[in-house]
Chain A
Amino acid sequence: MIIATNVTKQYGKLKALDDVSVTCNRGQSISLIGPNGSGKTTFIKCLLGMVVPDSGFITFDKQNIAKDWKYRQHIGYMPQTGRYPDNMTIDQLLRMMKDIRKPFNPVFDNELFESFDLGKISNKRMSNLSGGTRQKVSASLAFLFQPQVLILDEPTAGLDPVASEILKEKIRKEKEKGKLILITSHILSDLDDIITEVIYLQDGRLVFHKSLENLKKDTGKDRLSGAIASVMSKIQTR
């Protein structure tokens, strides 16, 4: 569904992405893993078209995204830190987003909005919200339009355990519907039962892209966190 081919992105001297090629298919839920500054967020931003690669290209359903913008109707994006216009209230933000995406996604999924109970604070301005509440809003927005692809950048960071659980439950549910889910997260234990694939990035380079089963087999560990830890130490000693 999403194929990245030789994607390279450089910020000044820093190579954020170096010749990255991956293929992501429907029904997979992929964890993007790597140390800080390994290029995870840049890669996601490339997928979303927020960052334009210096070379290489990305296709979405066999369409090059460089000249396309309509493919984004199929994507729900939850940013690492949600930044929204300060003057808007939650309600206005939601209405605006619905207004913008209505032509593409006329049916809304309000489940997260309701389970996070955002309705009772919908008149609060975005600038007055706590980081966690903002994350809740971001999550609600990502799922609101029932997209085929969910890109979640650190989804559980900053959420309280209850909200975190609600979100994970929602991700699981959507996964079962056969959607492609891309997650980056530090907290690996969160991901164990959700993900099927692992993409490991380091210093902008793709280290490996394996299914979770293969990874466990290769490392001999039965938990994701253990598997990744062994991979990381292996790489560092190399």
Chain B
Amino acid sequence: MNKIIKYVILDILKNRIVIGYALLLLCMSLSVFNMETDTSKGLLSLLNVILIIVPLVSIIFSTIYIYNASEFIELLVSQPLKRKNIWLSLVAGLGLSLSLAFIGGCVLPILIYNGNGTGIMIASMGIILTVIFVAIAALSAVYTRDKAKGIGVSILLWLFFTLLYDGLVMFLLFQFMDYPVEKGLVAVSMLNPVDLSRIMILLKLDISALMGVTSAVFKSFFGQSWGMILSISVMLLWVIVPLSLSVKKFKIKNL
């Protein structure tokens, strides 16, 4: 399994897009930190990068890569290798190399300019989001045979998690305005990894007091260690569930 990961990573790192992605992130973080005099403000600007660009690049690149690797997958499947291992290695290779690009482009500048708890939180959320969206890409690529359709599905999923879901939440919040929905909000935030990581970062940035009653619920939930453990487990579930679904499908997929 390690061998396949190695070959996948070598192949991806040869790909100019990942290098370009790392450089883009690096340019963004350096300019953000050098332009803002206040580094915590810089972190806030980076927040958008992490919540929008990281999922977008992770999901689109992974989907395209998986489709382009169909020959490679075919070759491997005819070899004495477990299908599950082939698939997991492919996803792991993607996750690792995209995380590597993110670490080089964002995490290092963050640690250099603002290596406090918030910085570490933002960095780790970026890495988790990268892996989550690679897993989601794997799911959409394994279920759709047609490349164009698969990429379309991935873009839609990205749009859903970064934009449409929040629109839906806002709609529901106004529908149920007169009810005590605070506790439900915690559950709602769990259903979207982008929202969950955004809220976790914002609570770390201590903007929480803004949120009134809602934040009191959030703070008391995420502030406790079990709340933190639960949110991290939910994030991991966001990796595990799409991944295991895709493995299940890949095991019986016709190549």
Contact = CB atoms under 8 A, between A and B. Distances in A.
- A, B co-complexed: yes
Interface of A: 11, 45, 48-52, 69-73, 75, 77, 79, 83-88, 96-97, 99-101, 104
A183 B174 CA distance: 68
B82 interface: yes
B7 interface: yes
Contacts of A11: 254
- Interface-centre pick from A52, A73, A75, A85 (highest chain B CB count, 10 A): A85
Nearest to B7: A96
Contacts of B78: 48-50, 72, 75, 77, 79
B79 A85 contact: no
B76 to A, nearest CB: 8
Given A51-B255, A87-B11, A100-B3, A71 B74 contact: no
Interface in B140-162: none
A97 B79 contact: yes
20 contacts: A45-B255, A49-B77, A50-B74, A50-B78, A50-B254, A52-B252, A69-B80, A69-B81, A69-B82, A72-B80, A72-B81, A73-B80, A83-B75, A85-B11, A97-B79, A100-B4, A100-B76, A100-B80, A101-B79, A104-B80
Contacts, number: 65
B38 interface: no
B171 interface: no
B80 A70 contact: yes
Contacts of A104: 80
Contacts of B71: 83-86
Contacts of B79: 72, 97, 100-101
Interface in B120-169: none
Nearest to A16: B254
A84 B73 CA distance: 9
A51 B76 CA distance: 13
A69 B254 CA distance: 15
Interface string B1-39: 001100100010011000000000000000000000000
Contacts of B72: 84-85
B83 interface: yes
